[in-house]
């Protein structure tokens, strides 16, 4: 007991969890799976990688314990092993946002200039939802809405946004999507503003809302 070899082995095991997220592509995978389970092919498409390479990453992560699989007919569906993985990913992202030099420049390069988008905090959105003076749009793909969304939000994937007609010009709109580094809500807000609506984005996204213990709704509804 207490010898160096045993201690090393224990901490190596802890480190394996970090190693499972210690590559940009694997971080992307966790970010995608935080929205819900996906097949290998879907994940490969989202992270812009070959299927074989994606499969390799997925298996490694599953071996490390952070992912689980389920068979669905001919395809294998991967998912986060538990919600605690999402907590860890959020902690990691927050640490990066706080401490990694240049992360803001990288974020800007990816999401573009956000200064005009006036992000709304969770707390503020919660209050305004209660007051009922805001229309909330979930601009993620419809399957993600169905897997869970903010109660009262309407599902309008960015791709369908043009078809949106039934909104008074004077109602204020808040759009949300996958998280702080997701561009769907940005795109939606820009488009809505061009059409004359008063639109803002939620500062983060659905997973953060859920993680904060705020009420959620599930199903295709609305």
Question: Active-site positions?
Answer: 177
Pairing of strands 75-80, 67-72: antiparallel
- 178: partner contacted, choices a copy of itself, DNA, none (Cβ within 5-8 A by kind): none
Look at phi and psi of residue 49 and say left if phi exceeds 0, alpha if psi is from -120 to 50, else beta.
beta
Return the range that interacts with DNA (CB under 7 A); candidates 49-57, 120-128, 144-152, 167-175: 49-57
What's the full length of the chain, in residues? Answer: 222
Q: Which long-range contacts (CB under 8 A, 24 or more apart) does 63-68 make?
A: 64/16, 64/17, 64/19, 64/20, 65/16, 65/17, 65/20, 66/17, 66/20, 66/21, 66/30, 67/33
d(CA 71, CA 33): 16
Q: Cβ of residue 64: shortest distance to DNA, in angstroms?
A: 10
For residue 29, the 8-state DSSP code is: H
* Residue 74 binds to DNA (criterion: CB under 7 A): yes
Closest distance between DNA and the C-beta of residue 46, in Å? 12
Nearest to 151 by CA among 83, 215, 63, 67: 215
With CB under 5 to 8 Å by kind, the binding choice for 6 among DNA, a copy of itself, none is: a copy of itself
Residue 11 touches a copy of itself, criterion: CB under 8 A: yes
Which of a copy of itself, DNA, none lies near 76, with the C-beta cut-off 5 to 8 A by kind? DNA
Q: Considering the rule CB under 7 A, would residue 75 count as an interface residue with DNA?
A: yes
**31, interface contact from a copy of itself, DNA, none, CB < 5-8 Å by kind:** a copy of itself
State which residue, 15 or 217, has the beta carbon closest to a copy of itself: 15
Contacts of 38 by beta carbon, 8 Å cutoff, 6+ apart: 32, 46, 77, 78, 79
Interface of this chain with a copy of itself, residues 28 to 67, rule: CB under 8 A? 28, 31, 48, 64-66
Are the C-beta atoms of 76 and 42 separated by less than 8 Å? no
Interface with DNA, residue 73, by CB under 7 A = yes
CA distance 15 to 9: 10
Q: Which residues bind DNA (CB under 7 A)?
A: 19, 22-26, 39-41, 49-53, 55-60, 69, 71, 73-77
Q: Which residues bind a copy of itself (CB under 8 A)?
A: 1-4, 6-19, 21-28, 31, 48, 64-66, 81-82, 84-85, 87-88, 91-96, 98-103, 106-107, 109-112, 181, 183
């Amino acid at each position: 007991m207490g010898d160096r070899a045993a201690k090393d082995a224990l901490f190596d095991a802890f480190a394996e969890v970090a190693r499972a997220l210690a590559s940009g592509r694997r971080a992307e995978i966790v970010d995608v799976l935080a929205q819900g389970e996906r097949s290998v092919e879907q994940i490969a498409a989202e992270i812009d990688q070959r299927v074989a390479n994606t499969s390799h990453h997925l298996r490694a992560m599953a071996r490390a314990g952070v992912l689980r699989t389920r068979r669905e007919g001919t395809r294998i569906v991967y998912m986060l092993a538990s919600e605690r993985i999402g907590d860890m990913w959020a902690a990691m992202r927050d640490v990066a946002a706080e401490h990694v030099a240049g992360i803001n420049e990288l974020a800007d390069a990816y999401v573009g200039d956000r200064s005009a988008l006036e992000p709304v905090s969770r707390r503020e959105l919660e209050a305004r939802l209660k007051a009922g003076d805001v229309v909330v749009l979930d601009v993620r793909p419809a399957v993600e809405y169905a897997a869970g969304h903010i109660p009262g939000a309407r599902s309008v994937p960015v791709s369908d946004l043009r078809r949106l007609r039934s909104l008074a010009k004077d109602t204020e709109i808040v759009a949300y999507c996958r998280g702080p580094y997701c561009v769907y809500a940005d795109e939606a807000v820009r488009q809505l503003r061009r059409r004359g609506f008063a639109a803002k984005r939620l500062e983060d996204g659905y997973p953060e809302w859920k993680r904060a213990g705020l009420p959620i709704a599930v199903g295709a509804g609305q």
